[in-house]
Structure 1
Amino acid sequence: MAIEIKTKGELYDVCIVGSGAGGGMAAKVLTEAGLKVALLEAGPDYDPANPEQQTQLKWSYESPRRGANTTRPFGDFDAAYGGWEIEGEPYTKAKGTEFDWFRSRMLGGRTNHWGRISLRFGPNDFKRHDFDGLSDNWPIGYDDVKPYYDRVDKMIGVFGTKEGIYNEPDGYFLPPPKPRLHEMMIKKAAGKIGIPVIPSRLSILTRPVNKDRGSCFFCAQCSRGCTVHADFSSSTCLVKPARKTGNADVYVNAMAREVLTDKEGRATGVSYVDKTDMQEYQVNAKIVVLAASACESARLLLNSKSSAHPNGLANSSGMVGKYLHDSTGASRGAFIPQLMDRKRYNEDGVGGLHLYIPWWLENKKLDFARGYHIEFWGGMSMPSYGFGFGMEKTNGKYPTVEGKMKDAGGYGAALKNDYRRYYGSTVGFAGRGESIPRVENYCEIDPGAVDKYGIPVLRFNYNWTDQEVKQAKHMQDTFEEIIHSMGGVASGDKPGADEKYGLLAPGRIIHEVGTTRMGNNKNTSVLNKYNQAHDVNNLFVVDGGAFVSQADKNPTWTILALAMRASEYIVDQLKKQNI
């Protein structure tokens, strides 16, 4: 007996799947242009100012788990519903693959938990093939995206300073917060060895940009969701204004199954499972926009098979799911004797770094292609669950101010005294770099596995190359160089070749992109330069899947800019009756 699929709502102009950076921006632009939009989100509604959902400004003891990560991957108070593992929503890995897939299930998606590092791609980042011959150039350049970066800066707000670095383009910046003591020490030490340290660029309001959002009050808890909406998340900065237009219907707890098509292969809507009653529904629309995240959107396309699209929707090239790549990541901690026995004062600042190290060796001859930036942490923020000396032991001991080693352990007054003396004396460094997009790294549908909704799941095939491993080695060498310049002691033993120099598994940085990449050749790409599917002109993908390459920058600002550009293209094409 056939299952009855119920229809929700009217015939919409646009159905958007996913409410993160890309989906939220599309919803805002399209509704403000007067289009009727259905926005599907796989998780619940969310507003960090809602008292029932608020976790900001709570003490660890207010949680039965003391804020530990037993229920959420980044801690009990973190604004991340989802994680690398979700009950009933598995994914599989081919033999030899280490790929961890983070899914966010909530209005606003991953933008509720992220570092708010809001960097533009530079001119070179769109044309990397011209420099190293690896992978492909984008079909667009920086000048095509710059006007949209400018508007995103002004719409959402980002602090920073104008530095005049060619491949780290300046924008429209709010005043940055002052650096904290450990950051000033890193800047001084790095400067001695020729490494630049500049104010970070975070989408956190150091002064208001509109009447709907407050400015940061420096509680340093952005990862918990901001009750005054001073930091950027799609749910508060994009979806909320879209709802205010009266043109958006938001369907939460809606797990998308497939994109529906007609006999000609054009998109007609989306079918989804409502998590509250486990029934299947469909939303009909003239245009479908996917923004479910790079891998989730690829999964939707591959599961949307029909006589017109036997290999999956928009997949005549066979490129859907291919060229998957994530940022590289490696880290190291250190003990800084000069930071021992500090006076106590409020050093919280914003929820993230006040300074960072941009890639400083652009176009220099190295044994790996492309580059990385360095983030760092430290200071006297509120101790979290499991607080100790904040660093690893070396040979079972902690370092002391004299440079000798202190036996681990202790209890009572002596242990409390150690905590007080060492509190605030540790720093950490994290490299985030560009990997090489490869057709051999991809996700596909696993023919033998489904999730609890009966939807076939993804299987990942992914391996790092020597390019990424050598880049991680360079990161570790740089961390130690800076630590030694600070007069510090690096924590633990330096990871070696057998550990890939501390290179994290792909997926761990949560920057995966490239699965529906854009290009001028429909035989080697999925989308055109406006994020429009080559095979289906009323289908668009506006998440990180469109990326041809990643750059050493976080992808969110580019997702936002491209989603704005694509959405305005949709409005223009509708007016011209081309869609």
Structure 2
Amino acid sequence: MDIPQLKKAPLIYDVAIVGSGAGGGMAAYMLAKAGAKVILLEAGGYYDPADPKYITQLKWPWESPRRGASTEARSGGDFDAAWGGWEIDGEPYSAKSGTEFGWFRSRMLGGRTNHWGRISMRFGPDDFRRRSLSGVGDDWPIGYDDLKPYYDKVDRLIGVFGSVENFPNEPDGIFLPPPKPRLHELMLRKGARSIGIPVIPSRLSILTKPINKDRGSCFYCHQCNRGCQAYADFSASSVLCIPAVKTGNVTLINGAMVREVLTDPQTGLATGVSYVNNRTLEEVTVRAKAVMLGASTCESARILLNSKSSRFPNGLANSSGVVGKYLNDSTGASRSGFIPALMDRKRYNEDGVGGMHVFTPWWLDNKKLDFPRGYHIEYGGGMGMPGYGYGGGIESMNSLVPGRDGKMKTGGGYGASLKDDYRRFYGAYVSMAGRGEPVPLETNYCEIDPNGVDKYGIPTLRFHYKWSDYEVKQAKHMQDTFEEIIHSMGGIALGPKPGPNTAHGYGLAAPGRIIHEVGTVRMGSDPQKSALNKYQQAHDVKNLFVVDAAPFVSQGDKNVTWTILASAMRTSQYYIDQVKQKNI
């Protein structure tokens, strides 16, 4: 039998970066600006939202062969800038012992940053010291002051709108003007504040004013999820990766499914990576003086666990045995409501930015509650542009609503009655979703499946994940709060209230479905309990770094992207300084 030969790249790069999302994109940008020669490996295809061949922004549903409907490879729909999803043909994963975890993969330049909600919040001082404050979980080896200078730089480099609120554990940033709240958001704010729940302007990385000559400002089409041809929102593809490539210092390789990090058997240092070309199935080696993993929380853990050798029998950077462990994803629960006061409105363009204009940060003291971590609330509603199949909730509505004769009725029907209800109820719905912080557990983990490989021959992951009682109690609090807010608006909560026997308890989303996972290659001061130091540098391999969310000790009650960007910038600067000092 012929032995397959590995194709070797002729160059030795300064750094090989795996993954082009928030972490990998920021590392590529920083290192390219510093003059390093970088190879950027992305498992998916090339993508530029301003290139006509990729533009779906401002197109009508009928311009899609599927009218915008989703497929396995386009989970968000035909117009959503998400190439990938929870299930990808030929790339399986499994769950262990009856547990559940949904692993979302993006296969495109810029990764998940092309289709995320652009919610861009800083972690607060308390988020880095949860064990010290509550006795539950672990503290980070760094604090807010370590990341604040980098948060500031990310704000200036990328742009984020918001308002200075001086709110506890919700640090203010360097903000662009926020968009004005729409009618349903004004009502949400008034109702929620009347029962002691704060509602403040959102913090989204969307440019309400230009910040440089390369990017335009938002024109309020509400289609950020499609990718912005004006570069007015943040995507790593348009704001970090493409500018990095333009410096001439970055070689971008698309379709590179990384198998493992290669090491020198004598020194144990990383010498490059091995990847499979996903079109030719040829295996290629890339040589580099340092390696940075930004492939995503679970993919980076998978690469390290697959990087076995006689020197590293349990996987690379894993002498502590923690790689793959302490996996955690945001909690999520939601509810919708019908607001009679919003019926029969005059129609006008209420699209706004691609997301919410207001939100609720965590406002309570967990010491007075029966769960130890908080959540924020994201709001939806209004008269946005209807999409294909848009029903405004009418055809699925179980609750009774007022008819034109004042009598209560079920919305919908057919013919003239259906059209009348569409017009009458359009814009009269609100939705709210809680996104909360779980307690990281060693028993929630991913590992190499001993019986599974993908179509590239790379061993796959197996997950073990269960919510604890803490997260279930948090979801119950979310549902109670949602109903209170809807009632404070004079609204009707739709459908039965989720109880303890629904979904994972009180409507709690399945693990992995919120797509905020962190923690599989955690940082720490003790090499026996962590894989990385405070600079996200491997304890065992000094020229190996992880720049996605895998190093994070905990989730926070915020979305994690802004912290990925700030920490990747900090790690990149540390690497640059160490090279100058000849320590790497």
TM-score bin (small chain): over 0.9
Task: Say whether 1:522 aligns with 2:527.
Answer: yes
C-alpha contact 1:119 1:554 (8 A) present in aligned 2: yes
C-alpha contact 1:25 1:234 (8 A) present in aligned 2: yes
Letter in structure 2 aligned against 1:472: A
Question: In structure 1, what is the equivalent of residue 490 of structure 2?
Answer: 487
What TM-score results when the alignment is normalised by the length of structure 1?
A: 0.98
Counterparts of 1:288 and 1:404 in 2: how far apart (Å)? 67
- Specify the SS of the correspondent of 1:217: coil
Letter in structure 1 aligned against 2:178: P
Question: In structure 1, what is the equivalent of residue 249 of structure 2?
Answer: 247
Out of 566, 569, 572, which is 2:577 matched to?
Answer: 572
Question: In structure 2, what is the equivalent of residue 97 of structure 1?
Answer: 99
Number of aligned positions between the proteins? 578
C-alpha contact 1:397 1:405 (8 A) present in aligned 2: no
Out of 529, 535, 548, which is 2:553 matched to?
Answer: 548
Question: In structure 2, what is the equivalent of residue 308 of structure 1?
Answer: 311
Counterparts of 1:346 and 1:116 in 2: how far apart (Å)? 21
- Could you list the per-position Cα deviations for residues 448-484 of structure 1 after superposition, in whole angstroms to 9, with x for gaps in the alignment? 0100000000000000000000000000000000000
1:356-505 matches, within 5 Å, as 356-390=359-393, 393=396, 396=398, 398-400=400-402, 405-407=408-410, 409-499=412-502, 500-505=505-510
- Specify the SS of the correspondent of 2:571: helix
Counterparts of 1:8 and 1:223 in 2: how far apart (Å)? 36
**Per-residue deviation, 1:15:** 0.1
Counterparts of 2:307 and 2:345 in 1: how far apart (Å)? 60
- Could you list the per-position Cα deviations for residues 366-396 of structure 1 after superposition, in whole angstroms to 9, with x for gaps in the alignment? 00011000001000111123211326756x4
**Per-residue deviation, 1:410:** 2.1
**Per-residue deviation, 1:9:** 4.7
- Could you list the per-position Cα deviations for residues 30-53 of structure 1 after superposition, in whole angstroms to 9, with x for gaps in the alignment? 111110000000001100111111
Counterparts of 2:323 and 2:396 in 1: how far apart (Å)? 45
Letter in structure 2 aligned against 1:484: H
Question: In structure 2, what is the equivalent of residue 561 of structure 1?
Answer: 566
**Larger CA deviation: 26-35 vs 412-421:** 412-421
- Specify the SS of the correspondent of 1:228: coil
**Per-residue deviation, 1:276:** 1.8
What TM-score results when the alignment is normalised by the length of structure 2?
A: 0.97
- Specify the SS of the correspondent of 1:11: strand
Counterparts of 1:80 and 1:122 in 2: how far apart (Å)? 30
C-alpha contact 1:88 1:451 (8 A) present in aligned 2: yes
Letter in structure 2 aligned against 1:567: S
Letter in structure 2 aligned against 1:125: D
Counterparts of 2:367 and 2:178 in 1: how far apart (Å)? 30
Question: In structure 1, what is the equivalent of residue 115 of structure 2?
Answer: 113
Counterparts of 1:512 and 1:393 in 2: how far apart (Å)? 31
Out of 161, 166, 177, which is 1:159 matched to?
Answer: 161
Question: In structure 2, what is the equivalent of residue 329 of structure 1?
Answer: 332
Q: Percent identity?
A: 69
Structure 2 residues without counterparts, runs of 5 or longer: none
Counterparts of 1:201 and 1:379 in 2: how far apart (Å)? 19
Counterparts of 1:229 and 1:171 in 2: how far apart (Å)? 21
Question: In structure 1, what is the equivalent of residue 7 of structure 2?
Answer: 6
Counterparts of 2:399 and 2:512 in 1: how far apart (Å)? 32
Out of 254, 270, 274, which is 1:271 matched to?
Answer: 274
C-alpha contact 1:392 1:398 (8 A) present in aligned 2: no
Out of 272, 284, 287, which is 1:284 matched to?
Answer: 287
Question: In structure 1, what is the equivalent of residue 541 of structure 2?
Answer: 536
Question: In structure 1, what is the equivalent of residue 60 of structure 2?
Answer: 59
**Per-residue deviation, 1:401:** 5.5
- Specify the SS of the correspondent of 1:8: strand
Letter in structure 2 aligned against 1:328: T
Question: In structure 2, what is the equivalent of residue 36 of structure 1?
Answer: 37
**Per-residue deviation, 1:404:** 5.6
Structure 1 residues without counterparts, runs of 5 or longer: none
C-alpha contact 1:357 1:374 (8 A) present in aligned 2: yes
C-alpha contact 2:119 2:559 (8 A) present in aligned 1: yes
Counterparts of 1:385 and 1:97 in 2: how far apart (Å)? 35
Counterparts of 1:20 and 1:441 in 2: how far apart (Å)? 24
**Per-residue deviation, 1:75:** 1.4
- Could you list the per-position Cα deviations for residues 44-90 of structure 1 after superposition, in whole angstroms to 9, with x for gaps in the alignment? 11001111111111011111221122352111100000000000000
Alpha carbon RMSD of aligned pairs, Å?
1.2
- Could you list the per-position Cα deviations for residues 299-345 of structure 1 after superposition, in whole angstroms to 9, with x for gaps in the alignment? 00000000110000000000000000000000000100011011010
Counterparts of 1:223 and 1:445 in 2: how far apart (Å)? 32
**Larger CA deviation: 244-253 vs 361-370:** 361-370
Counterparts of 2:147 and 2:6 in 1: how far apart (Å)? 41
Letter in structure 1 aligned against 2:61: S
Question: In structure 2, what is the equivalent of residue 184 of structure 1?
Answer: 186
**Per-residue deviation, 1:363:** 4.6
Letter in structure 1 aligned against 2:327: L
**Per-residue deviation, 1:220:** 0.4
Letter in structure 1 aligned against 2:564: I
Counterparts of 1:450 and 1:460 in 2: how far apart (Å)? 14
Question: In structure 1, what is the equivalent of residue 346 of structure 2?
Answer: 343
